[in-house]
Structure 1
Amino acid sequence: MDDLTVQAEALLADMKPVSPSAAPGQNMLPPNTRRDVPGEYAPTPLWRAGDGPATLFVHGWDDTHRVWRLFAMDFIQNQRPTLLVDLPGHGASNAEQAGWPYAGAAVRDVCVAEAPIDTIIAHSFGCIATLRAVELGARADYLVLIAPPLSGTDGGFRGRQRKKGYSDDVISRAEALCLERTGFPASRSDFRSVLEAYEGRTLIIGSEADAECPVEPMQALADGLPNVDVLVYPDLDHRALAQDTGVLADVLAFLGY
């Protein structure tokens, strides 16, 4: 095996997410609210509060459903049915594969099992999983995409690997190996066709202060799409966008609450 391939293999081995503890006491909702949804690739841990058409919250890479403690608890306290998941390879999930195709399938599986879904609210990598789920047939009346890592940003696969010190040649070799072995590219952000076909309303949220996911690709994604709105904040960082009371208020207004 040549040195380039050795380094590419190391990169692929290093791709597993590192999310916070999944101990039962760390979950937002009690154990009796959890079930595992069977799926195309692996079961998905799911917590439900309330009956009826629900809002599904989807976290990002290296995270768990607990990132939604402000948003989701507001929904729960106001008796709005709420669904929380841990994506494949994150938190309480035991899935081996965690990339975007598997995360997208997991979100689709949950949407099918828990239908009808009123809204999907997603953060960061969870936005990619959500768009893939919609492409696979998931149905929801509204999408809220917070800090999506779109093309041209350093928040995607290549940017993350460069920050780890991998060269472009090693990254390219790893991408080729991933495609050869799984049938999927290592990353994907070209989802405009999904929003063009989507019949519901979409809100994309970004921040000028988010170094990981600049707003320009978000605005380009929404350009010319009448059912897509973009909301830009001046000073919130990447994670704060999913935990800010002002963002929550704007999301609630978008949803008509």
Structure 2
Amino acid sequence: MTIHMRNLSTATAPQTQPRNFQHEALRLGLQLYTRLSAEGAAKLVERLAFTPDRLPMPSRYEYLLDLADSHTQLHHGPHTLPIYSWGDGPTILGVHGWSGAGIQFGAYIEPLVAAGYRVVLYDAPAHGRAQGERTDLYEMTEVLAKVAHQVGPLHAIIAHSLGSIAAGRALVDGLDASRLVLLAPPASLSEVVNEMGHQMGLSTDALAEHRKRMETRFGGDVWQQLSLEELAPQLRQQGLVVIDSDDADVSADQSARVYHNWPDSELMSADGLGHHRMLRAPQVVDAVADFLTRDRVVPH
């Protein structure tokens, strides 16, 4: 099943000039550093790759944190991570992406709570209000499983961007949920790393060195372990994949490959929303809420 939607009124705005300037300065700096010290540049790239940008929380939803029915914590290693929940009923867990925060799913709280569900959101290490400076996708997967076991059982998971790979990995490893929504899922960590290398302006040799360091750190099978398109055939959940043709961060083609490899999934295709606006676009929120609450009988 495929749903097509178009909304040009919410087309993705161009990047601001300061962000472009910082991005270009980083590219030039890395290119110069690579000429001076390939090893030093590789270490810097590795550090940058595991350090999320702790972006400001979406101000339109931050007030909802103070209205949460429950605010608990998860102790993970030396760090404390916040967990918030709203409502009662079957639990729906939100899993944010890289440099994101749980409250990015704020638009889903009201409709899902009104439909008789409990919404749980959290911040992964080094994200949002959580402690920590660096993290990686394996740790994000481990934390997801810990949160799920603390707040579960789960009815469903909604995941965005890189959080989709964490969700897929956790579910294949045994985490239980009936339904799964993936918003702009990347096909694999390998493609995410290649795109990062392109954005940083890394040479072919520099990118190859970074990938080699990743394999040394996580094992040679890291690319297979964290390939969502390879995990998708093993997913037993009913699924919905949401893609946008104007997504500049994760191409619609990548997300579509996840959908095509996932036996029991539906596809919602939009354009004009981009990578982040799909998180709050009313037509996406409505479609996701409908999918998650479908066939639910609320007792009177």
Normalised to the residue count of structure 1, the TM-score between the two structures is: 0.86
User: Do 2:240 and 2:267's aligned partners in 1 also have CA atoms closer than 8 Å?
Assistant: yes
Q: Does 1:161 align with 2:197?
A: yes
Per-residue CA deviation, residues 119-138 of structure 1 (Å, 9 max, x unaligned), is 10011111111112112321
Aligned to 1:29: 65
Partner Cα separation in structure 2 for residue 42 and residue 180 of structure 1: 25
Higher relative contact order (CA 8 A, sep 6+): 2
Q: CA deviation at 1:107?
A: 0.9
Aligned to 1:195: 232
Partner Cα separation in structure 1 for residue 233 and residue 78 of structure 2: 27
Partner Cα separation in structure 1 for residue 172 and residue 76 of structure 2: 16
Q: CA deviation at 1:152?
A: 9.9
Normalised to the residue count of structure 2, the TM-score between the two structures is: 0.75
Aligned to 1:12: 46
Structure 1 residues 73-222: aligned runs within 5 Å:
73-151=110-188, 156-183=192-219, 185=222, 189-222=226-259
Partner Cα separation in structure 1 for residue 225 and residue 204 of structure 2: 17
Aligned to 1:66: 103
Unmatched 5+ residue regions in structure 2?
A: 1-35
Partner Cα separation in structure 2 for residue 62 and residue 157 of structure 1: 15
Q: CA deviation at 1:81?
A: 0.4
Aligned to 2:9: none
Aligned to 1:230: 267
Computing the radius of gyration over CA atoms, which structure comes out larger, 1 or 2?
2
Partner Cα separation in structure 1 for residue 262 and residue 147 of structure 2: 27
Q: Secondary structure of 1:29's match?
A: helix
Partner Cα separation in structure 1 for residue 181 and residue 92 of structure 2: 10
- Matched positions, count: 254
Partner Cα separation in structure 1 for residue 189 and residue 159 of structure 2: 20
User: Do 2:187 and 2:257's aligned partners in 1 also have CA atoms closer than 8 Å?
Assistant: no
Q: What residue identity is the alignment partner of 1:5?
A: E
Per-residue CA deviation, residues 196-249 of structure 1 (Å, 9 max, x unaligned), is 232220111101111222222332233264311121112221101111000011
Percentage of pairs with the same residue: 22
Q: Secondary structure of 1:55's match?
A: strand
Distance 1:182 1:43, change over 3 A: farther
Partner Cα separation in structure 2 for residue 200 and residue 153 of structure 1: 24
Q: CA deviation at 1:75?
A: 2.2
Q: What residue identity is the alignment partner of 1:33?
A: S
Partner Cα separation in structure 2 for residue 33 and residue 73 of structure 1: 15
Partner Cα separation in structure 2 for residue 124 and residue 202 of structure 1: 15
Q: CA deviation at 1:172?
A: 1.8
User: Do 1:48 and 1:81's aligned partners in 2 also have CA atoms closer than 8 Å?
Assistant: yes
Q: CA deviation at 1:171?
A: 2.0
Q: CA deviation at 1:163?
A: 1.0
